[in-house]
Amino acid sequence: MKRVKWSEIGMGALFFLYGLSGVADGELYNRGVLIPCPRYFGAALMLFGVAIPVMAWFLRSPSRKRKDEEK
């Protein structure tokens, strides 16, 4: 059993790259509308992109399942 699926890694990479483009360019759009504070929003997207696979790995860890089964 894999702890992190390829789809979660891909989704995290897309969020990270989209956030990186907002931080680098200083412009970020959602459906054609400019997002206010694109550098902060881009940094938050980058953090979210890293957090997705990390949280998936943590939530599927074997030690966590053993603790849940004891209760």
What single DSSP character describes residue 37? S
**pLDDT computed for residue 30 by the predictor:** 83
pLDDT (tens digit, 9 = 90+) per residue, 8-65? Answer: 999 999 999 999 999 999 888 888 898 999 999 999 999 999 999 999 999 888 776 6
When pLDDT is cut at 50, 70 and 90, the band that residue 67 belongs to is low
CA distance 46 to 38: 12
pLDDT at residue number 69: 64
Amino acid at 26: G
Instruction: Write down the pTM of the prediction.
Output: 0.79
Predicted local distance difference test score (pLDDT) of residue 71:
58
